[in-house]
């Protein structure tokens, strides 16, 4: 029995066929072309799935999608990177075209499930996954089961306030002083541009820091501090056995990981300091797709 996982991105639509062990048997990618509308993209999904159905005994389909969304009725609400997709009943639409059950989840939640099941959190009783990239998102897996929350937003820590100062940065759609506005790759790139006129985003800041530039290192240290505050809040809220950090910013994990662990330990109860277990993600860009393939099995 097989499942299909779909990683619905703003640029690419990735479709994978999975066996019961969560191994990818077949993978394909095509442009999402979201601007052509949901019907067009969903038809593309259905075409690929029906082709696989003719060759394999497929049980169900899982979709990892950008939010906001509502997993239970299976509606994509209005993701910024899927322009024009407003209140799209993707589950009903796709089920009607393929004749299989479909499960929808936030893409960060799908990645969390993958890392907890087959990646850096494998074997742990509870795993909190954090992705630090263009934005900051997350997901929580407890006892092997994804904790979605009432509206599918469990783990969405990007809007968590980590700097209550009235002068804190106020990003679009975020609280003033929100974690995403201060520690994401976008935030690091923005601050690098403001202070050092760096034009190639967070990557440029990390490169300068690695070369010994003190101002660039200060920008990295500030981001690490805010991220550590966010992780300490997670530790005090759900006390996970493992925190897994993924996303594009972790390409510079040699610069980030050790000080992040040390700083997080500063912000938790003394009794929790030695239990802090932060690991880099292992599945990289495959996590969202793998998690989508695992969704129907959970």
Q: What would you measure as the largest C-alpha separation in the chain, in angstroms? A: 59
How much is the mean pLDDT over the chain?
95
Compute the distance between CA of residue 11 and CA of residue 82 in angstroms, rounded to an integer: 9
Asked if residues 7 and 27 have their Cβ atoms less than 8 Å apart, the reply is no
Q: Please write the tens of the pLDDT for every residue from 178-189.
A: 999 999 999 999
Q: Give the predicted TM-score (pTM) of the model.
A: 0.93
User: Residues 6 or more apart from 277 whose CB is under 8 A from it?
Assistant: 241, 242, 243
Compute the distance between CA of residue 188 and CA of residue 147 in angstroms, rounded to an integer: 30
What one-character DSSP code corresponds to residue 70?
Answer: E
Compute the distance between CA of residue 232 and CA of residue 272 in angstroms, rounded to an integer: 10
Q: Please write the tens of the pLDDT for every residue from 42-83.
A: 999 999 999 999 999 999 999 999 888 999 899 999 888 898
Compute the distance between CA of residue 190 and CA of residue 184 in angstroms, rounded to an integer: 10
Other residues' Cβ atoms within 10 Å of the Cβ of residue 77: 14
Phi/psi for 257 (5° steps) reads -60, -50
Other residues' Cβ atoms within 10 Å of the Cβ of residue 78: 15
What one-character DSSP code corresponds to residue 279?
Answer: E
Compute the distance between CA of residue 184 and CA of residue 16 in angstroms, rounded to an integer: 29
| 3-class DSSP assignment, residue 57 | coil
Q: Please write the tens of the pLDDT for every residue from 210-241.
A: 999 999 999 999 999 999 999 999 999 999 99
Asked if residues 10 and 34 have their Cβ atoms less than 8 Å apart, the reply is yes
Q: What is the per-residue pLDDT for 140?
A: 97
Q: What is the per-residue pLDDT for 182?
A: 98
- Exposure on the CB side of residue 224, measured as CA atoms within 13 A: 23
Q: What is the per-residue pLDDT for 114?
A: 97
């Amino acid at each position: 029995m097989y499942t299909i996982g779909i990683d619905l991105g703003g640029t690419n639509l990735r479709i994978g066929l999975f066996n019961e062990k969560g191994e990818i048997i077949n993978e394909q990618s095509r442009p999402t072309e979201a601007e052509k509308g949901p019907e067009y993209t969903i038809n593309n999904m259905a075409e690929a799935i029906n082709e696989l159905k003719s060759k394999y005994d497929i049980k169900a389909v899982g979709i990892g999608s950008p939010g906001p969304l509502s997993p239970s009725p299976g509606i994509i609400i209005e993701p910024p990177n899927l322009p024009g997709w407003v209140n799209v009943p993707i589950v009903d639409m796709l089920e009607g075209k393929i004749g299989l059950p479909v499960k929808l989840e936030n893409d960060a939640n799908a990645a969390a499930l993958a890392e907890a099941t087959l990646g850096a959190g494998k074997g742990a009783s509870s795993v909190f996954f954090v992705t630090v990239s263009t934005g900051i998102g997350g997901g929580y897996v407890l006892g092997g089961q994804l904790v979605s929350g009432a509206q599918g937003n469990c783990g969405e820590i990007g809007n968590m306030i980590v700097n209550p100062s009235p002068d804190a940065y106020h990003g679009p759609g975020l609280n003033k002083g929100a974690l995403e506005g201060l520690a994401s790759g976008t935030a690091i790139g923005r601050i690098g541009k403001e202070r050092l006129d760096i034009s190639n985003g967070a990557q440029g800041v990390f490169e300068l820091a690695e070369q010994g530039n003190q101002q660039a290192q200060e920008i990295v240290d500030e981001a690490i501090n805010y991220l550590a505050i966010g992780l300490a809040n997670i530790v005090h809220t759900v006390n996970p056995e493992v925190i897994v950090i993924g996303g594009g910013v972790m390409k510079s994990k040699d610069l980030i990981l050790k000080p992040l662990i040390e700083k997080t330990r500063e912000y938790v109860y003394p009794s929790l300091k030695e239990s802090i277990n932060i690991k880099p993600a292992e599945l990289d860009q495959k996590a969202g797709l793998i998690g989508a393939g695992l969704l129907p099995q959970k």
